[in-house]
Amino acid sequence: MELFPSTEQQKKSQVKKSGLVVVKNMKIVGLHCSSTDLHAGQIALIKHGSRLKNCDLYFSRKPCSTCLKMIVNAGVNRISYWPADPEISLQNEASNPMTTDDAKLDAKAVERLKSNSRARVCVLLQPLGCSMVQFVEETSTKFDFIQKIVKSQPDSNTDFYTACRQERIKEYESLFLISNEEMHKKILMTIGLENLCENPYFSNLRQNMKDLVLVLATVAASVPVFGCFGFYNSESQRTNETDHQSLPQEIARHCMIQARLLAYRTEDHKTGVGAIIWAEEKSRSCDGTGAMYFVGCGYNAFPVGSEYADFPHMDDKQKDREIRKFRYIIHAEQNALTFRCREIKPDERSMIFVTKCPCDECVPLIKGAGIKQIYAGDIDAGKKKADISYMKFGEVEGVSKFTWQLNPLHTNALEFHDPTARENGVQKTKSLDDQQHQSKKLCLGHY
């Protein structure tokens, strides 16, 4: 949530932007990030109030005393955080000693609040599975968004994806990691984590942090800045003009990356699918997400309580339909609707982000739930794959559909394309920096 697109005013703020996940009874009930005026913990209190009781809170940075005293008072169960530079930065000593002094005083207050709290306040950074990084890297290169680029520019696939990934790794390391190890140790000691400063604990901590940053960057690179979400054109499409208005590209891409991360929680060892639902209020909210608020999320899995061997895991290559998995898997969209934390309001713009095109089983559910917009990859749209059909996606009325597109044909996007390449339906290759710079200017058009 720290990476949620910020306003210029937020980017200039000296206080570190923090992200927060609120969990109750093993269900995500809130995704928040700092705004210009409020920290993530304060926003959680405004949004949830006494409903925070017995919740688990996961912070991307150690919360400050102002946030901690309120959320502890609300009766939360556990507070976990990322062991790096806290919300009030401790890295400004050279440029602003007064800010650092305040941060040190705040760190002492946090420790006192922590020691006198019924809630458990701790670091949460577990090592990833030994093959996790490799698995994410291999599957990311095969993902729908990258595959579209492969088909149009097969020669540039490897270089393009590698360049995207390196760019994201560099960005995330600068945000989440403290490059100077001595500075990192000093900060850990200031925020009461002296026990993590000695080896092998410190080396293991650093390695675990680097591994997680690598996974986040690898997933983000699979939804590249190059390209955008464009309006999916179909003959039966009839919606109000207001529903055609899509999200800014940066926000749409961010939400799709969240869905991609959820896909790795799947119990289906062949196909991971993630879905996340957001909605937009009519007035701007206090949250760092602006008017947008979290509704629910899910991934494809077998019914709750079932064991791995209870149901078939075979795919559509099996001739015997009885031993195929399709009738037993709960789809990501279905789980997101089942375990949502808020109702979908008919008078607000609601949107679902799905890593694959919703199938015929899910499209009526999405429409029936009152969701106004669908964001998805469209590689499967209009196709039938054995027991799975994607024919209803293009036919559904009353829901705007936006799919990730390499070449949206829109007059405002012409500067992004070479004229001769447009005629042939293929985009001329540019440098990665130029592609990323220009793609931010794209407007959504009919595809």
What residues form DSSP beta bridges with 405? 228
**Which among 245, 286, 260, 190 is positioned nearest to 402, based on CA atoms?**
245
Contact between 259 and 31 (Cβ < 8 Å): no
Torsion of CA 73, 74, 78, 83, to 10 degrees: -60
CA-based end-to-end distance of the chain: 30
Taking residue 273's Cβ as centre, other Cβ atoms within 10 Å add up to: 26
Ordered alpha helix ranges (H), 74-200 = 97-115, 132-140, 144-152, 157-176, 181-190
Element (H, E) at 271: none
Distance CA 416, CA 17 (A): 32
Instruction: Using DSSP, state whether 278 is helix, strand or coil.
Output: strand
333 is catalytic: yes
Angle at Cα 10 formed by Cα 50 and Cα 69, nearest 5°? 30
Sign of CA dihedral 372, 377, 379, 384: negative
Give the tokens for residue 140. Answer: 């990311």
Instruction: Using DSSP, state whether 418 is helix, strand or coil.
Output: coil
Question: Tell me, what amino acid is at 240?
Answer: N
Catalytic residue among 333, 361, 415, 423: 333
Contact between 222 and 253 (Cβ < 8 Å): no
Give the tokens for residue 126. Answer: 């577990």
Q: Give CA separation, 171 vs 34, 113, 140, 209, 227, in Å.
A: 19, 33, 18, 14, 19
User: 3-state DSSP helix/strand/coil percent for the chain, to nearest 5?
Assistant: 40, 15, 45
For 340, left (φ over 0), alpha (ψ -120 to 50), or beta? beta
Torsion of CA 432, 435, 438, 441, to 10 degrees: -110
Contact between 152 and 427 (Cβ < 8 Å): yes
As annotated, the active-site residues are 333
